[in-house]
Amino acid sequence: MIDDKHAVLLIKCPDRPGIVAAISTFLFTHGANITDLDQHSTDDEPGAYFMRLELQTSRLDKPLDELRREFADQIAEPFAMEWQLGASHMHRRLAVLVSKHDHALMELLWEWKRGDLPADMQMVISNHPDLRAPVEAFGVPFHHVPNAKEQRASAEDQMLGLLEGKADLVVLARYMQIVSPEFIRHFPNRIINIHHSFLPAFVGADPYRQAWDRGVKIVGATAHYVTADLDAGPIIEQDVQRVSHRHAVEDLKSIGRNLERRVLARAVKWHCEDRVITHGNKTVVFA
């Protein structure tokens, strides 16, 4: 429902009776018909409550901005909600960081170009110059920012200069450099990485070789939000494929490329459609 007649409400708050009644009555009163609603509450005490709600905006009795102010006062404040209410055609601004492997990047560019990824592709930044031509062929700006270990700080400064105020979501599409905690702090739960293994198996370097050494019969890929704790951030999506003794390490890498682009594309799409809420080190995904 990506058009100018819908909005998405995303909520996280302490669980208690009456949340659905309060929200749905508020929306009904203001002419906002609910077209989709998904919710989740945790079992612990006190529980946490999560909701994603799609609503039609065509018959609202006031502009969305004004509705937001009233929702804040009348509903969000009393229920202590973290929330957002966005028109579904107001796209997230996306920046992709990449090194030399193009498969995950190309998948995002094609999905975006085809209209399957509701986002504004702002720029691609790479520590290598190699992918300039294919990126610019999509009409997307390409920035080459070298980022060797010894120049990390200045490289990240340069990237932050490019990104801040321009990107709502940063996607690491096989960006083979460490990202510093300082950098991450600018984009809390707004950096998505694709890890080329079925986390938490095979953290660290060269996971396909690790997988091959262990003789697993299934390999996977994991998309997760980046936190200061390497490879340990909240998992958004995973997928797997069967392998056998016939597959050499290179075969696993080739199979993995297909997994990585699929998994990353799904995770980025869900984020851009306001389907993901983080909670501690986990995610609620209303897919």
Which of residues 125 and 219 has its CB atom nearest to its own copies in the complex?
219
Question: Which of residues 114, 148, 165, 205 is near its own copies by CB under 8 A?
Answer: 114
Decide: 267 and 195 in contact? Cβ < 8 Å: no
231 catalytic residue (yes or no) = yes
Q: C-alpha 231: how far from its chain's center?
A: 15
Nearest-angstrom CA–CA distance, 278 and 50 = 10
Which residue in the set 33, 84, 177, 189 belongs to the binding site for its own copies (CB under 8 A)? 33
281 interacts with its own copies by CB under 8 A: yes
Residue 35 beta carbon to its own copies: minimum distance, rounded to whole angstroms? 6
What DSSP string runs through 95-138?
Answer: EEEE-S--HHHHHHHHHHHHT-S-EEEEEEEESSSTTHHHHHTT
Helix (H, G, I), strand (E, B) or coil at 278: strand
The residue among 115 and 165 lying less far from its own copies, judged by its C-beta, is 115
Region near its own copies per CB under 8 A, out of 4-12, 35-43, 64-72, 153-161? 35-43
Residue closest to 60 by CA, chosen among 26, 89, 90? 26
Q: Is 74 in the site for its own copies (CB under 8 A)?
A: no
Backbone φ and ψ of 187, nearest 5°: -135, 65
Sheet-wide strand order for 169-172: 142-144, 119-126, 92-98, 169-172, 191-195, 218-225, 235-242
Among 89, 93, 103, 152, binds its own copies (CB under 8 A): 103
Single out the residue of 28, 66, 78, 228 in contact with its own copies (rule: CB under 8 A).
Answer: 28
As a whole number of angstroms, the distance between CA 24 and CA 1 comes to 19
Give yes or no for residue 177 binding its own copies (CB under 8 A).
no
Start-end of H helices in 124-277: 132-136, 152-163, 181-185, 207-214, 249-272
Binding segment for its own copies (CB under 8 A), chosen from 3-11, 19-27, 60-68, 146-154, is 19-27
Determine the 3-state secondary structure of 181 from DSSP.
helix
Q: Which of 231, 239, 251, 274 is catalytic?
A: 231
Q: Which is nearer to its own copies, 191 or 285 (CB)?
A: 285
Q: Catalytic residues, which ones? A: 231
The residue ranges that bind its own copies (CB under 8 A) are 17-21, 24-25, 27-28, 31, 33-41, 43, 102-103, 106, 110, 114, 116, 134, 137, 198-202, 214-218, 220, 234-240, 244-246, 248, 254, 257-258, 262, 281-285, 287
